[in-house]
Amino acid sequence: MQLVRQRLRAGQLRLAESDLVPLIKRPGPPPEQVGMMWLTLRRAQFLATPADSPQRILARAQYGQALSSFGSQLSPAEQLGEIEQAIKAGLYDVAAGLASHLLTVTAPAVQADPAGRKPAAVGRARVGASSGHMRREVEPGLLQMVGLVWSSRFERTADAPQRASADRALLHQQAFTALLQSHLAAGHPAAALAAAEAALPTLDETQIDWAQLVQVAIWANQPAVAARFADHWLASAGDDSTRWAAFHALTGAYLATGNPAQALAAATHQLKQMPQTTELWRLMTQLAMQAGDGEQAARYARRLVGLEVVSGH
């Protein structure tokens, strides 16, 4: 390992690979520090390969394979950095796999059941553990050279359980976002939507980007799901501005897929939650006209005219 470190510092990537291959190919899983060094090497080789080189595809595949094998040994903060790099490199499946793993290990702890039985332990995020191994094996200068970003901003301390819990929740939210980005970057909105629906119960609803989820559902051609997300957004809205954004998202979910009648029905169902303004009745009149419902359009138009007369518009 000392020899490999020196090889990497000198930029002797081929020689470093020759030295590491016997350790990687030994029977059984390699020691963690060996796997981490192999990942460092493969990433360095990929970054060192020109974009127009015939070897670029091979270098990217090798980096992706190393990331799939050893990426989960990184600390959560480091995994987020690798996921971002994998997306940039076009390794969408690898990025999604690593993001899914990170989402699992940062999930909220399961509460003990009423009978007093202890639930199976949820996998814990190894914040700082494997990065500690790596720092002992590879000097910081090398890590900077090959482009890896190692962060200690999520390190846990024994006297700060609340901070640890907040950090874990933040990492979980970031892993969720990274998972969606991985699927969307690959052009798979249906996979992104499925991942989102599976993970929603583990997320803090106050931190959910409902507008993003509505858009993902629309891209996946699932207007009913988009409308459901918009309903949640509307129900959790704390001010009129947010209510309007959610209301427009709700109607837009159906309009985007050519269903004005469903847009009108969904909007009508939520009318009581909305401020009774000229903007509301103007929108409802337009929706009714798009849906071909002349009677409803006339009724909403009368409400609109009445408010405009009162307000002097």
Count of other CB atoms within 10 angstroms of residue 142: 18
Average pLDDT, the chain: 80
Task: Enter the tokens of residue 173.
Answer: 């939210």
Alpha helices by DSSP H, listed for 109-204, are 129-137, 140-146, 161-185, 189-199
Q: Is the same domain home to 128 and 41?
A: yes
pLDDT higher than threshold 70 for residue 158 = no
- Domains of the chain: total: 2
Task: Enter the tokens of residue 270.
Answer: 């939520």
Q: Please tell me the predicted confidence (pLDDT) of residue 180.
A: 95
Q: Is the same domain home to 8 and 145?
A: yes
Q: Which of 202, 184, 1, 224 is nearest to 95 (CA)?
A: 184
Q: Please tell me the predicted confidence (pLDDT) of residue 83.
A: 94
Given 136, 165, 197, the domain boundary residue is 197
Q: Please tell me the predicted confidence (pLDDT) of residue 160.
A: 56
Q: Is the same domain home to 30 and 106?
A: yes
Q: Is the same domain home to 251 and 179?
A: no
Given 167, 197, 227, the domain boundary residue is 197
Query: What is the rounded end-to-end Cα distance, in angstroms, of the chain?
Result: 78
Distance of alpha carbon 103 from alpha carbon 125, whole angstroms: 10
Angle at which helix 13-24 crosses helix 2-9, to 10 degrees, equals 150
Please check whether residue 66 lies inside any domain of the structure: yes
Q: What is the pLDDT of residues 254-311, one digit of tens each?
A: 888 788 998 899 888 888 888 888 888 888 999 999 989 888 889 888 888 876 544 4
Please check whether residue 202 lies inside any domain of the structure: no
Domain interval for residue 104: 1-197
Q: Is the same domain home to 157 and 231?
A: no
Q: Are 123 and 105 within 8 A, CB to CB? A: yes
Among the residue ranges 96-105, 111-120, 279-288, the one predicted with the least confidence is 111-120
Q: Is the same domain home to 165 and 139?
A: yes
